[in-house]
Structure 1
Amino acid sequence: MSTLKKQNQSLTKSWALGAAGIVFAVFLWWIFTRAATGNLMLAAFAPANVPDALKSLLGRGVLLSDVGISLLRLLSGLGLATVLGVPLGLVIGFSRLVEQTSAPLVQFLRMVSPLSWAPIAVALFGVGSLPVIFLVAIAAIWPITLGTVSGVRALNPAYLQVARTLGASGPEQLRSVVLPSIRPFVLSGIRLALGIGWVIIVPAEMLGVSSGLGYEILNARDRLAYDEMLVVILVIGVLGIALDTLAQKLLK
């Protein structure tokens, strides 16, 4: 009971400190916008404008649909990266020859900003959701691939030897030994890829699409609706926290 009480107290303290940090940040935000009364753009970013701007976005029915579209693109790109990244990581992890051969290319590709591929994505897929999904996948594939490689490297060879001794085939070894053993590494890579993909999707949605949170930021800017642009930015941040929290709970 004492241990449980200490855990509850620690959790309460953590929440209280987090809330205090948010209150302090909002206070600094209010001070900054109050000091910038001569600048119409910065004045529009005042905290007091958030409720009306949020009401306007919800009233026009664009915010929730944009959230749904962005999440769908994110999950599609993440799913594609997982489908490609896990097998690639398995091949690299189990084959020293493949690892040595592919290492320079992998290092090169993962160091190139995913947004650098935007012109190629548009040329290949045109405008719409496909280029956005492609860019998210390009950004997300490397954490998943490298996480899988790390899992393979950490796999105890004795487990595979026992499976072979018991007559397990290659697919059976993969299913019953390899995948369960590397699961924590793969899930950690997916969680990291989720955060990277969420960061990438906003600028990716500024490439000729007519929906999504990234598009909504550009649309608000073009209409000089800076208060609505601020609301979209806040929504992006809150959703990012929610996605990471959900990933912590599910990807264990």
Structure 2
Amino acid sequence: MLRLILPLAGLAAALLLWAAGAAWLTQRMPVAADFAPLPSADALWQLVGGGDLWPHVWLSLKRVLVGLALAIAIGVPLGVLTGLSKRFAQGTTPLFQFLRMVSPLSWMPLAVMVLGVGDAPVYFLLAFAAVWPILLNTASGVAQLDPNWLLLARSLSATRRETVFRVVLPGITEHILTGVRLAIGIIWIVLVPAEMLGVSAGLGYFILDTRDRLAYSELMAAILLVGALGYALDYLARTAHARWLHR
């Protein structure tokens, strides 16, 4: 019972602070009344029930899946190679650490110049943001593998391909899933600002549109939905990770 009461109490406290903050701001700026909990909840209900928001949601989720798939396709092989080859790790680690510290959003102008407007630059930004936790966690998993597993594979005349797919990847799945979970959180944070440039649909575009239309209650409703969807994605990632550990 306590595990249910405490989260609800935390949400209730946040709701009260939100309402109090909106009421205080309304005294100085009457337009702030649209940011209050009740107008925002009403706008969210209308948007969800009316279906105007769902096309933006599906498109944003599609971009997240594509960006995550690209990050996995790039990060896992590079992580395995980094963990298995000391020379490759020594030659690439400074570069990877340098690129990892560059904000993905700083690439937005270059991405649009090279890839044009549309989904392509968004995919690039999401993949760039998500690849690093996957790559680093994969490399860390390879480094922590029991060396006896690799020696056993060699003694059985396993090929390089067989060693990777039958020994290394099954042994580091937990680390890959941890990296994927971290990547999902990063992608979801980068998604909204990435969709504010050069696209005509998506949650980021919808938030900008509500600002331009001065529909502030809808803006807050979109922010609430972004938080709820992000929480749901993280919950799915945590569940997959927990099930793998149990298995």
Identify the TM-score tier after normalising by the shorter chain: over 0.9
Amino acid of the structure 2 residue aligned with 1:15 = L
Q: What SS class does the counterpart of residue 37 from structure 1 fall into?
A: helix
Aligned to 1:67: 57
Q: 1:187 matched to which residue of 2?
A: 177
- For residues 61-87 of structure 1, give each alpha carbon's deviation from its aligned partner in whole angstroms, at most 9, with x where no partner exists: 331111111110011000000000101
Residue 219 of structure 1 corresponds to 209
Are 1:248 and 2:238 counterparts?
Answer: yes
Alpha-carbon offset, residue 60 of structure 1? 5.3
Task: Look up the equivalent residue of 1:123 and give its one-letter code.
Answer: M
Aligned mate of 2:122, from 132, 146, 163: 132
Which of residues 24, 32, 35 in structure 2 aligns to 1:35? Answer: 24
Contact in 1 for aligned 2:130/2:183 (Cα 8 Å): yes
- AA partner of residue 40 (structure 2): V
Give 1:56 deviation, angstroms: 3.8
61-70 vs 134-143, which moves further? 61-70
Q: Which residue of 2 aligns with 1:15?
A: 4
Q: Which residue of 2 aligns with 1:52?
A: 42
Distance 2:113 2:69 in 1: 22
- In structure 2, the residue matched to 1:116 is 106
For residue 246 of structure 1, report the CA deviation from its aligned partner. Answer: 0.8
How many angstroms does 1:33 deviate by?
1.3
Equivalenced residue count is: 241
Q: Distance in 2 between matches of 1:75 and 1:183?
A: 19
- Partners in 2 of 1:15 and 1:243 — Cα distance? 20
How many angstroms apart in 2 are the aligned matches of 1:201 and 1:62?
Answer: 20
Q: Distance in 2 between the 1:27 and 1:34 partners?
A: 11
1:115 Cα offset (Å) = 0.3
Cα distance, 1:140 vs. partner?
0.2
> For the residues of structure 2 that align with 1:116 and 1:169, how far apart are their CA atoms?
42
CA deviation vs aligned residue, 1:189-244 (integer Å, no higher than 9, x gap)? 01100100000000000002111110011000000000000000000011111111
Measure, in 1, the Cα distance between the counterparts of 2:17 and 2:109: 39
Q: What percent identity do the matched residue pairs reach?
A: 51
Matched with 1:156 is 146
Residue among 124, 127, 131 paired with 1:141: 131
Shift of 1:120: 1.3
Deviations 1:81-127 (A, max 9, x none): 00001011111111111111112111110000000110111112211
Code of the aligned partner of 1:78: L
Provide the secondary structure at the position in 1 that maps to 2:172: helix
Cross-structure match for 1:26: 15
After TM superposition, the score normalised by the length of structure 2 is 0.94
Unaligned 5+ segments in structure 2 are none
Structure 1: segments with no counterpart, 5+ residues: 1-11
- Measure how far apart 1:176 and its partner are: 1.2
Q: For the residues of structure 2 that align with 1:97 and 1:164, how far apart are their CA atoms?
A: 20
With normalisation by structure 1, the TM-score equals 0.92
